[in-house]
Structure 1
Amino acid sequence: MTELNIVNNSLSAFCADKPKTESWNLHVATNNFTLTLDYLHLYNKQDINTFFYTGSVKGEIIFICLISILKIRIAGFPIAIAMFGAPKTNGKAFWHSENHISYSTFVKQILQTLKKQYKFYVVILREFYGTADQPLMAKNQDMGFLNHHALVKSYLNIASFASFEDYFNALPSKKRNYFRSVMKCKQDSAVSVGLYELTPELVDLIYPLYQKTNAKAKENRTAAVNRSVFSALCDSKIKTKVITYNLQNKIAAFGLMFFNSREVKCLFTGFDYRFTKTHNLWYQIMLESIRFAIDQRCLHIDMGSSSASMKDKFQAGHEDVYISVLLKNPVLTAIFKKPVAHLLNKFLRPTK
């Protein structure tokens, strides 16, 4: 290969380089909210050690990758992790031109460069999806990585429905009857549902609910995002809407949705736990997000990675999500499979 030039850029420097941002938007961020540069800007102050590697030959970009250097503590010991992607992103935060460089060579080039610049003990490649990414996971295994089942992602295809009523009527009768009982709550005169733009005043009302809900979460819980992220979204180019379920004119539940022409993702939710059972608040927000997505003529809804069994009621599909992990030495990865899996579960599903 002609001499490969690899450049490390901060987010701000990367965004100032038009060819790089165009390549990123075309090959990586298309149809993925969490990998858009606007979204990454929301977390820039939180993820200080997040940056981009770009590889080029004779000025032509042949690979691009988002990398994070993280430090966590396991059993009191600090562990440094080099991760492809960032803590708040989903999907593959990288791209390589198959015409110029193989996948395995691309990964090895990134790791060789990282080792010269940073000290870390664990490498995480993410994310890989079920059957579709088996070839890549096989290559990861050939490079000494351990493939780890991280979570189950749920999604709902809605492209064939012209209205919420069409979707509702297509559900099996047992599920229709269940949701009828859920939606009866809205007949109460004290109940109202709202759809709003995100404003600073609304952030004041919904962020405390989000914090309390995040603290109670058990399955696939990640650290709560800072209030500054909610505030920044008020002026962001990212399209958002807020669904609220109100009791006596006070917000009892909300869903903060990200959306584009293809997809809706209810990324942040919050509930007043005094009313979760009597009003089925989680189901109320999900049903309203489905209604919104169909009205927007979106193709599908990303329903997240928790409570997969609950999402079956909506006829949601499910997809296994994997990550690949490597200790500095592939031999150690093979020897310490169980401790590595334990570390990953701690990292992916923190309980505090």
Structure 2
Amino acid sequence: MAAAAQAAAAAGVHAYPRIVASLIRVTGDWSLAEDCTQEALTAALERWPADGVPANPGGWLMTVARNRAIDVLRRAAVERRKLHDLAVLTPVDGQPEPEAGEDVVDDRLRLIFTCCHPALAIEARVALTLRTVCGVPTADIARLLLVSESTMTRRLTRARTRIAQAGIPYRVPSGPALAERLPGVLAVLYLLFTRGYLPDGEPAFADEAVRLARLLDRLMSEQSEVVALLALLLFQHSRRDARRDAAGNLLTLERQDRARWDRAAIAEGLAALVRVRHDGPYAWQARIAACHATAASFDATDWPTIARAYDALADIRPSPVIALNRAVAHGYAYGPVAGLGLLDAMRAGGGLDGNPLAVAARADLVARQGDRLRAAALFREASGMAGPTAQRRALLDRADDLAR
């Protein structure tokens, strides 16, 4: 039963965005699409332990969701065309699902552009994307955005209603509208990747973000930030198999076996980076990631170049995260005193309150100064603030190593 439940959960992560996007395209009803998809996932949890996991889990979920939508539409006397369109969404038993990259503008890319329409408030765009594209539960989105679950439910309902009332088309726009919406779409893809790349994240989200970034590059290869985002994601994703040891413990960049990095992904990222023509935020981040990806070892990393790139990033897109990474880069490029000075300036401004990564960065720089006991204490302090189990365990391991 446990194996069947895990299979249902895994299939849901992979299939949820595709099923929701397909049903939205055909029915035009966001709530119906999400409700039917959720009912399919519930049915899987109930039936697979007894009946066994189907050979094509995603196709099974699509079939159940589609049939549920057909039942609802029949009761609502929806026109025959929509019923026919729904009937061909799922291949017959035994046939594989359509290849994910068959169409440059697939349903999920249309869905992202729709979620990022400027007619929606920015908080609604973020919430709707997390719920519909990433499949994040409403309660989790509410906690992330610091509102109650009921408030978030109403916000999502208003966003879906706004899409319907404003007649927002379910498509990738063109001309000025495309340029206007592009920054939000890039941010969504980066958000999707980050959700999969977090220590306790679901890797399928990162895979999906890379796939969609490739599609967007094929659609808009003349846009430097589109190309830069693809390069950035490829460089980051190239390390996915080396981020944990045999016991499943999280490894820092310094401790990773670089022989396990995906060289094909790095080569693809470098080829994309050559096509970047402008110095936008993703371009600078991609250049930083390229420095890490091409370094023969951690000690051979070109830290001065990385520090200069973070200086540029801090000028064009200042944020606590950029400032923190800049301090770390300066600490490795110019010595721990330089990095600690930047951390002190940030702390004075209140930008690092309660941030475990900031405390861990200070601990690392203090260790490089030679004060191992104080560094160990700081790593333990950071572990007490950390959320994901893997991150907390990694910080405690660093503390134990220094205390020996």
Normalised by the length of structure 1, the TM-score is 0.28
Q: Which has the higher contact order (CA 8 A, sep 6+)?
A: 1
Normalised by the length of structure 2, the TM-score is 0.26
Pick the structure with greater CA Rg.
2
User: Between Structure 1 and Structure 2, which shows a larger proportion of strand residues?
Assistant: 1
User: Between Structure 1 and Structure 2, which shows a larger proportion of helix residues?
Assistant: 2
